[in-house]
Amino acid sequence: MWQNLDEVVLFCCMRIRIVFSLLTTVIFFSNPALSQQFFNETPSAIHWRDSVFASLTPEEKIAQLMIVRAHSNLGNDHVEKIEHLIKRYNIGGLCFFQGGPVRQAVLTNRYQSLSRTPLMICIDGEWGLGMRLDSVINLHREMMLGALPNTELVYEYGKLVAQQSKRMGIDVNYAPVVDINNNPQNPVINDRSFGEDKYRVAAYSLAYMKGMQDNGIMATAKHFPGHGDVSVDSHLDLPVINKTRQQLDSLELYPFKTLIEEGVGSVMVAHLYIPYIGKIDSAPNLATSLSPTAITALLKTDMGFKGIVVTDGLEMKGVTKYFPDNEISVQALIAGNDMLCLPPDVEGSIQKVMQAIADGRLSQAQIDASVKKVLLAKYHMNRSKAHTIDTVNLVNDLNEKTAAFKKAVAQQSLTALKANPTLTPLNKKTSIAYININSKQANPTAPELDYFFLELSKYNRNVTNFFVSKSDSLGVDSLLNAINTDYDVVITALHNYSRRPANHFGLPDWYFRLLARLNETNNCLHLVFGNPYAISYADSLPNIVAMYEDDEATQQAVIDYLTGQIEAKGKLPVTVSATLPVGSGAFYNRYFTTAAPEETDVNSTTLNGIDNLINNAIYENAMPGAVVLVAKDGKIIFNRAYGKLSFDADAPPVTTSTVYDIASVTKTTATTVAVMKLYEEGKIDLKSRLADFFPLAVNTNKANITIEEMLAHRGGLTAFLPLHKSTLDASGAPSPLYYRVQPDDLFNIPVAQHLYLRNDFEDSLMVQIFNSRLGEKNKYVYSDVDFILLGKIVEKITNMPLDEYVTNIFFRPLNMSSTRFNAARYFPVNTIAPTEKETNFRLQTLTGYVHDPAAAMFGGVAGHAGVFSNAYDLAQLYQMMLNHGVMNHKRYFKNSTIKKFTAYDNKKISRRGLGFDKPEFDKKKIKQQGEYPAKAASARAYGHLGFTGTCVWVDPEHDLVYVLLSNRVNTSARHINKFGALNIRGQVLDIIYEAIRKGK
């Protein structure tokens, strides 16, 4: 069985590690809450927690549950007050607000040195530390992040906030806001939210949370149970939400459930009044932050939250007006909160709580449980050891990465709500009138010369600036008469309006008269820098670009867009008007635009026959839905969506943006193009052997298999290996020996939702591969194993994971924002087609997690499967190859490289190219199986199929790109083979060729 001693040792070591962790694995598998990173009851954590707990007096235990307001800009009296609370009561923590970074760091060091129990340092830094501290640059607000095409930058945002917090000695950030802002008049949440779509809010909040917690900062999901649908500011009064439990479950609670399931460390409860909860509690004006029904029954019991529950600020008038004299602190603890945020009177609150315990209104056991939870979190925040914040170069460290990051967010969130492609990119000779409405960035000595105008005029010297201040009694008619007759393009830019919706965002009356006149011209491009809800007043204009902030980063992004340097990738995160609903955003590649079929000599009537074919297949239950895209002569002539995301009765419809698991199309979309790039760069030799890359292969019968042989599937490797079967228990379910439902240091390879494989198991996978059966060389056997190994070779050569390499080299530069491995990390669940209701191995509906079991064992990133994409983005990659390696004026490949890999490898053996599938030429096989992939396909054609019901084909002879995406495995076993039997992919291609023939 074993080929050498190294393999025996490796195998034995794996089994020893598994045996030693078996007992704790079973415990954690059955109780996922214990595996949260801040509440892991390790022996050392328990010892420290219990020893500190034993040292606390009854008063100090209550004080440990208090987070006190702190500033670094309020002078000595404030500092002395905080010091008194620390020394007298041993309070649990501080939440810093306004001040400066160096001053706060000095005070943090000072306060920690005075405290007998380490302080938990918190901040309410939703958009970074710049939200509170001078000298620190603000990051962008959540609504701008909600416009991003995927969550990659949202995760990096959380990571950056965590790095800033770590540098400042902060343990907890009261973020993210996971409220769904479905009320445009919301005066308190509004653009602090990721938007109104619950799936997007959940996905983007989760990315922000993970970015922080993966880097050691506890996140806080707020404001439970959802503060988005209110019209009253809870800082001033108690907002009322007239919703039932069922309504809350269907909307507001969804993001909270998502973050709780993924291990968020804390949840902040809002000051809201929900009548249905109030009826249960039988108390008038009882805020959710003080409600046992909301906290103990709903959040802790029903939703299973085991982390720290913290109140919103108890000094807010929405609750203090109903519970004066420190009764609010008692009510908050009775309700089930673990920590009191900003109690108005620490001493009075402690006395009130002590009395409530004595009166039997509040149990000491409940206080003790919360204190132990807080101490456990402090231990995992490394507060068991003293740390001093170094103030040297502090401000520079905090701002070091901000400018580049803000630029990236601004570029990717820019949203072209309405876009006339003839207006942009601007021609350098085009005459432009720029109406600068109230720019705050204006030069005081020359207010009309703002940043945007100065940068635009560097590109085009034919731009004239018209500066209009908010207070200006503008002669709108005379201005428009002047610009309409003399300029090719009119650009209006709205700056510096209120973020809040009151009084029409503070916009002057003349602005609305200006919009009415601009609506009469087609050459106007309206730029809105700020809260997108204000666009509702301009939604009838023909061309609108939304930017969600107003700073140099956003203004420069618009300049880059107008001058053709970037594309608009953003999507509107909220509904602005009936004509601009959530999700609006006209993304198009200027060099890959749409056209009518007849413009490319294709018969549209024939092409429309695709509709009947796909709809019939859906009717026959061969698949629940699909997307078909056809590009001819570099233009998209057909891009249509059909059916639903799944066979579930209430499944949403498929859209052309729907993301699918492309299965084995991964082989060409990721692994083959990666090998092509490395080959072209001289970093890989196609004659290199497996033994050159894998020590495990050296003394095996696979040592001399070459890269070229694997690309062409003629190296003798077995077709596939059921790598997952050894990790299942007797019932066929994931064994707790190998899996946990929450990630930790040892179990963190995601194979499905809430299912994580041991991170040391890849060694065993590779041993299985190199000990697998080897077939005859130079005989065609289509093999997933070939491409698993090719993917690993790419990783060894590039010294980075395969997904990272192809994203950096191809997907991101090509603006393929939907093309990623592990789609569940990057996209809202309602944008991904569920692949299959898997009844073995993972026992769940796979949505955003790779369908292929072997790819799942490698964490969703493998050379043979794992990529998800929509049709448009796939088409961009293959159009680049059809363009001889060039897209958007950037060269990715030499044409000679493309020709080498897409040509037939060896016609004596098979139809395959190097990585790519090719048309069948063997007459005997054609007679038995039919033409493949279609009768009219030229010998130059290349592409690939995917098991889930996908394909991409390129035919240089006809300047054609064809993409079909479906989830045909999302069906019952009775219909599983209908998709193949109907030959849907081939029949669609037949129609395309027929339409080309008839169009000539």
Residue 605: count of CB within 10 angstroms of its CB:
11
Residue 331: count of CB within 10 angstroms of its CB:
26
3-state percent breakdown (helix, strand, coil) of the chain, nearest 5:
40, 15, 45
Measured between alpha carbons, how far is residue 218 from residues 52, 256, 797, 823 in Å? Answer: 21, 15, 36, 25
Considering the candidates 197, 229, 312, 786, report the single residue annotated as catalytic.
Answer: 312
The DSSP 8-state label assigned to residue 313 in this structure reads P
**Site of tokens 């203090």:** 320
Residue 458: count of CB within 10 angstroms of its CB:
11
Amino acid symbol at 19: V
Measured between alpha carbons, how far is residue 874 from residues 668, 743, 951 in Å? Answer: 11, 32, 10
Considering the candidates 78, 235, 504, 884, report the single residue annotated as catalytic.
Answer: 235
Q: Which residues contact 292 (CB under 8 A, 6 or more apart)?
A: 281, 334, 335, 336
Helix (H, G, I), strand (E, B) or coil at 193: coil
| Pair of tokens at residue 377 | 């979190």
- Indicate the angle between helix axes 364-380 and 346-358, nearest 10 degrees: 130
The DSSP 8-state label assigned to residue 123 in this structure reads E
Contact 782, 916 (CB under 8 A): no
The DSSP 8-state label assigned to residue 761 in this structure reads T
Burial class of residue 352 (count of CB atoms within 10 Å of its CB; 0-12, 13-18, 19+): buried
The per-residue DSSP string of 965-987 comes to EE-TTSS-GGGTTHHHHTTHHHH
Amino acid symbol at 805: Y
Phi first, then psi, for residue 302 (nearest 5°) are: -65, -45
Contact 148, 190 (CB under 8 A): no
Largest pairwise CA distance in the chain: 93
| Pair of tokens at residue 899 | 């020709």
Integer Cα distance of 175 and 125 in angstroms: 7
Residue 167: count of CB within 10 angstroms of its CB:
18
Please confirm, yes or no, whether 763 is among the known catalytic residues: no
Which among 139, 442, 461 has a CA at the least distance from the CA of 452?
442
990 backbone φψ class: left, alpha, beta (φ>0; ψ -120 to 50): alpha
Amino acid symbol at 881: M
Integer Cα distance of 169 and 395 in angstroms: 14
Burial class of residue 983 (count of CB atoms within 10 Å of its CB; 0-12, 13-18, 19+): middle
Do the strands 544-547 and 524-529 form a parallel or antiparallel pair, or are they unpaired?
A: parallel
Phi first, then psi, for residue 362 (nearest 5°) are: -140, 135
Please report which helix (H) or strand (E) contains residue 329, including its range: helix 327-335
Amino acid symbol at 635: K
Number of H helices, E strands in the chain: 37, 29
Integer Cα distance of 793 and 183 in angstroms: 51
634 backbone φψ class: left, alpha, beta (φ>0; ψ -120 to 50): left
| Pair of tokens at residue 922 | 């063997």
The residues with which 546 forms a beta bridge, in sequence order, are: 415, 528
Integer Cα distance of 369 and 202 in angstroms: 30
Please confirm, yes or no, whether 495 is among the known catalytic residues: no
Integer Cα distance of 962 and 705 in angstroms: 33
The per-residue DSSP string of 452-480 comes to HHHHHHHH-TTEEEEEE-TT----HHHHH
Task: List the catalytic residues.
Answer: 235, 312
